[in-house]
């Protein structure tokens, strides 16, 4: 499901094996917003909201408001939603959708059947029926998997991202730590770099432990040159 605007820039890890249920640090609902910076200009605003429904499942929603020329980018304004289960075994996506924010028309709908290890649905008119393996995430659940893993003392590992053309694997490396100045004050962060084999692109994520490892900044590079930067503007944690 690549090219869904900023969602892929947050593509992080799907770690598993979080010890026992009694030791697991639970997720905390939150709402956050980010400025998308392109060549020094604000190209749009992305907002994210994580909540838990009465059944115990988690829902993560991303909304984008492109500005200027970015309004012409296909799929830049789509609303993305991931429904997932989160427990001692980690994060597993159950359903992913991408919808037009104006008329609600679905551009993608994929369901993940973990008992049968199959992903099925439709993405941009293409029928999907694909084998799964443990640790596979969608464009949004992969963010939650990263935060959940880091909060529970896990090093990012076992990274796989579902795409309509197949499943892509990433390597993650911790590359440092930095205190960032943000609109909500200075925040200490740990920095991770992700990279897919034989790809010129890589991503860096500045994750804040005091915010439950919510990313404070995300940067995408192509052959060492920065293409986009996404910076935290606000966050509210329940």
Sign of the dihedral defined by the CA atoms of residues 188, 44, 222, 125, in that order: positive
Cα-trace Rg, the chain: 17
180-218 residue pLDDT tens:
999 999 999 999 988 887 788 888 999 999 999 999 999
Q: Domain tally for the chain?
A: 1
Please check whether residue 144 lies inside any domain of the structure. yes
Please check whether residue 190 lies inside any domain of the structure. no
Local structure of 181: helix, strand or coil:
strand
Q: Where are the alpha helices (DSSP H) in 141-227?
A: 141-151
Q: Which pLDDT band, with edges at 50, 70 and 90, does 93 fall under? A: very high
Please check whether residue 221 lies inside any domain of the structure. no
Please check whether residue 209 lies inside any domain of the structure. no
pLDDT at res. 18: 40
Please check whether residue 166 lies inside any domain of the structure. yes
Please check whether residue 52 lies inside any domain of the structure. yes
**Cβ(186)–Cβ(179) under 8 Å?**
yes
Q: Which pLDDT band, with edges at 50, 70 and 90, does 164 fall under? A: confident
Please check whether residue 183 lies inside any domain of the structure. no
16-71 residue pLDDT tens:
334 333 456 778 899 999 999 987 888 889 999 999 999 999 999 999 887 765 55
Please check whether residue 202 lies inside any domain of the structure. no
Helices (H) and strands (E) in the chain, counts: 1, 15
pTM: 0.85
Structural domain including 70 reads 5-170
pLDDT at res. 157: 66
């Amino acid at each position: 499901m690549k090219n869904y605007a900023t969602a892929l820039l947050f593509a992080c890890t799907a770690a598993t094996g979080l010890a026992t249920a009694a030791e697991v640090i639970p997720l905390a609902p939150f709402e956050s917003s980010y400025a998308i910076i392109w060549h020094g200009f604000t190209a749009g605003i992305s907002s994210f909201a994580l909540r838990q429904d009465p059944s115990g499942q988690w829902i993560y929603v991303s909304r984008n408001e492109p500005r200027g020329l970015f309004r012409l980018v296909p799929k830049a304004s789509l609303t993305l939603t991931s429904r997932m289960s989160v427990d001692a075994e980690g994060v597993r996506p159950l359903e992913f959708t991408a919808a037009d924010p104006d008329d609600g028309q679905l551009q993608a709908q994929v369901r993940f059947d973990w008992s049968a290890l199959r992903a099925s649905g439709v993405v941009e008119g293409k029928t999907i029926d694909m084998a799964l393996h443990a640790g596979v995430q969608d464009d949004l659940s992969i963010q939650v998997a990263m935060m959940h893993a880091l909060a529970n003392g896990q090093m990012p590992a076992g990274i796989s991202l579902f795409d309509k053309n197949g499943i892509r694997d990433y390597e993650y490396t911790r590359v440092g730590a930095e205190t960032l100045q943000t609109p909500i004050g200075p925040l200490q962060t740990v920095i991770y770099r992700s990279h897919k084999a034989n790809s010129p692109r890589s991503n860096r994520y500045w994750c804040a432990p005091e915010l439950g490892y919510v990313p404070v900044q995300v940067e995408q590079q192509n052959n060492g040159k920065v293409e986009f930067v996404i910076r935290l503007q606000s966050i509210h944690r329940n």
